[in-house]
Structure formats: structure tokens, C-alpha cells
């Protein structure tokens, strides 16, 4: 087995010298306050050994990484009926693009672009009595950590400026692909994106995607075939119009967020999370992608 601790420490120190760290997201004003020099990485292997470097215990906004977790909760709850309302094809478009949605009559390309995640949020709002409480409970259960919570300021900040998402939700509604009130669904969606977690907590949450649906406490949340599908979606759609580049450079299923986090898994081997707030032009963490490329190259461990 590779010496993960030595490897991730070497990666953290190599990236410390990189000057071009990307740009912190500012379209959600509350996120623009984050220090661009933060960098964390945490890896948990299949035997539940933990390896950490940098700011791996510091909380950050998980943003779109939450889409994998809401999809999981939804898939476990309603099964394959979800695929009647959202497709499973890569979009090749930015995360907030709307033209394909109009072109394809209100069926989002996949559940990891914003429009798809809004449909998933709608299904959760329809099926849960108290969606925000129950979703948070699910995340606390899979991580075994009751300290995880929403950041109300970030949710409010996105609510005030999330005009593209408001447009997406209205477009979905116009095609009959949104059951609930636009405002109610978006309130849930903005909250799920506002959840704050550290690299370590997220690596714990993603453990079940590398462990056939079973969390570290041994409870099964998704069956093997559901995990297969979620990992396939991460690989093909997790980085929007940069999914090809991530597969090419890193070679793992993963998901990014505009808070600068990236979570990735190697089935049966490890779950790993990086955090560096500067984003590249596609909205994915610039140094996070470089760190994961170094990890899979230095360890010669990728699904390919
Ligand atoms: O809906 C949005 O625009 C944000 N709450 C999440 C976007 C995001 O994280 C895209 N990922 N790289």
C-alpha cells in the first residue's frame, strides 16, 4: 500500500509554491470572503485509516458536492423513478446552463448540474415531512458527526443573488417538472449547498461510495447497483464541462463545489477530499484538481 501520509504531505508542500491559485467564487457574495491560500487534503482508506495535510479540519461551504448527497438520499427513497424526471448524460455545459433544459423540454441532462439538482430537491421536498431537518440528519448519520450544519448566511446570500437558479426552477415548473413551489424548492436547494464540512468530514461522508453503499459504522444506505450509478454519474458529470479533463488527469469518480472542495473515491481503496478555494474558469478548484492528479499519478492508483 502506498504511504499516503508522506504522499499527501509532499503534494501539500509542492502546491504551496504555486502562485496561480485560481479565483475565489464571488457570485455568491458570502463565499468571496474566504482566504484563497487555504489548502487541505484528507484521505480515508478502506480500512478506515485517516491521513491529513494542511487545513483538512477547517469547515468550508460544500456547495455542489451536496448534490451527490441529495441524489443519494433521493435514490434511496424513491428508487429508479427518479430517472423519469432527470437524465444521466453528461451535459458538456457549465453547471448553471439553461439552453439544453429548454431544448430538452424540461428534463435536465443529469442530477449534478444545477437544474438536475433542483429536480432532486423537489423530489425530496415532496417525499420528506421536514426536508431540511431530515437531509441534515442523513448527513450527520453517514458521517457519524452531529456538529455538521447549514450556514444560514451563505444560504441567504445565494437566495438574494441566485437569479439563474430561480430561472432554472421556473423553467422546470413551466415544463411540469417541478411539483412544489419554486421558492420552497429553492430554499431547500440553497440550504443543502450551504452546508459546511471539513475535508475530513466529507471524506467520511463519501466513504460509502467507495464501500458499496455502507458507511463506516456498517450501515447500508444504498445498494451496490445504486452506488454503481452514482459513481458513474460522478465520473461523467461531476465536473460539468470539465468532466473529461478530470477523468483524463485524475481518473476517479468525483464531485466539485464552488466553495473549492473536491470529493473523489476509488472503490474498495479510498475516499479523498481536497479544499482550495481558488477556482479555474470552469468553476472547479484549480489546486484541488492538481492535487488529485498528483495523488493518482504518484500512487499509480486510478480506476483506469
Ligand atoms: O447553485 C449554485 O450555483 C451553487 N449553490 C452551487 C454551484 C456549484 O458548486 C458548482 N460547482 N462547481
**Which pLDDT value is given to residue 27?**
95
Query: Residues 125, 181: contact at Cβ < 8 Å?
Result: no
Distance 63 CA to ligand 1 centre (A): 5
* pLDDT interval class at 273 (50, 70, 90): very high
Distance 17 CA to ligand 1 centre (A): 28
pLDDT, the chain, mean: 97
**Which pLDDT value is given to residue 211?**
98
List the catalytic residues. Answer: 64, 67, 189, 240, 258
* pLDDT interval class at 115 (50, 70, 90): very high
* pLDDT interval class at 1 (50, 70, 90): confident
* pLDDT interval class at 9 (50, 70, 90): very high
Q: Residue range 52-70: average pLDDT?
A: 98
pLDDT in tens, 183-205: 999 999 999 999 999 999 999 99
pLDDT in tens, 83-106: 999 999 999 888 899 989 999 999
**Which pLDDT value is given to residue 92?**
87
Alpha-carbon span 229 to 180, nearest angstrom: 26
- Lining ligand 1 with CB less than 6 A are 63-64, 95-96, 114, 158, 165, 193, 256-258, 283-284
pLDDT in tens, 229-242: 999 999 999 999 99
Distance 64 CA to ligand 1 centre (A): 5
* pLDDT interval class at 108 (50, 70, 90): very high
Query: Residues 62, 198: contact at Cβ < 8 Å?
Result: no
Q: Residue range 260-280: average pLDDT?
A: 98
**Which pLDDT value is given to residue 168?**
97
The protein residue whose alpha carbon is closest to atom 4 in ligand 1 is 63
Q: Percentage of the chain surpassing pLDDT 70?
A: 100
Q: Which atom of ligand 1 lies closest to the CA of 282?
A: 12
Q: Which atom of ligand 1 lies closest to the CA of 258?
A: 9
Distance 190 CA to ligand 1 centre (A): 9
Which residues 6+ apart lie within 8 Å of 181 measured at CB?
Answer: none
Q: Percentage of the chain surpassing pLDDT 90?
A: 96
Q: Which atom of ligand 1 lies closest to the CA of 117?
A: 1
The protein residue whose alpha carbon is closest to atom 1 in ligand 1 is 114
Q: Which atom of ligand 1 lies closest to the CA of 164?
A: 3
Amino acid at each position: 500500500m502506498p504511504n499516503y501520509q508522506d504522499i499527501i504531505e509532499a503534494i501539500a508542500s509542492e502546491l504551496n509554491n504555486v502562485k496561480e491559485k485560481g479565483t475565489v467564487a464571488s457570485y455568491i457574495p458570502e463565499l468571496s470572503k474566504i482566504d484563497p491560500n487555504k489548502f487541505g487534503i484528507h484521505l480515508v482508506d478502506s480500512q478506515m485509516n485517516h491521513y491529513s495535510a494542511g487545513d483538512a479540519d477547517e469547515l468550508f461551504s460544500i456547495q455542489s458536492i451536496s448534490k451527490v448527497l441529495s441524489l443519494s438520499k433521493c435514490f434511496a427513497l424513491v428508487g429508479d423513478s427518479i430517472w423519469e424526471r432527470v437524465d444521466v448524460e453528461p451535459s458538456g455545459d457549465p453547471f448553471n446552463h439553461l439552453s439544453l433544459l429548454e431544448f430538452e423540454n424540461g428534463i435536465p441532462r443529469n442530477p449534478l448540474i444545477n437544474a438536475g439538482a433542483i429536480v432532486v430537491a423537489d423530489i425530496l421536498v415532496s417525499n420528506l415531512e421536514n426536508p431540511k431537518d431530515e437531509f441534515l440528519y442523513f448527513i450527520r448519520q453517514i458521517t457519524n458527526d452531529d456538529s455538521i450544519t447549514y450556514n444560514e448566511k451563505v444560504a441567504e446570500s445565494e437566495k438574494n443573488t441566485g437569479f439563474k437558479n430561480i430561472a432554472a426552477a421556473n423553467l422546470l415548473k413551466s415544463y411540469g417538472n417541478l411539483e412544489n413551489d419554486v421558492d420552497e424548492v429553492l430554499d431547500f436547494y440553497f440550504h443543502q449547498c450551504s452546508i459546511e464540512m471539513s475535508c475530513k468530514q466529507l471524506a467520511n461522508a463519501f466513504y460509502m461510495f467507495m464501500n458499496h453503499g455502507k458507511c463506516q459504522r456498517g450501515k447500508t444506505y444504498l445498494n451496490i447497483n445504486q452506488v454503481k450509478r452514482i459513481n458513474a454519474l460522478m465520473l461523467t458529470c461531476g465536473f460539468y464541462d470539465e468532466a473529461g479533463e478530470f477523468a483524463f488527469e485524475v481518473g476517479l469518480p468525483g464531485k466539485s463545489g464552488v466553495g473549492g472542495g473536491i470529493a473523489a473515491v476509488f472503490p474498495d481503496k479510498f475516499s479523498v477530499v481536497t479544499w482550495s478555494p481558488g477556482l479555474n474558469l470552469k468553476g472547479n478548484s484549480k489546486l484541488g484538481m492538481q492535487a488529485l492528479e498528483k495523488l493518482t499519478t504518484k500512487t499509480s492508483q486510478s480506476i483506469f
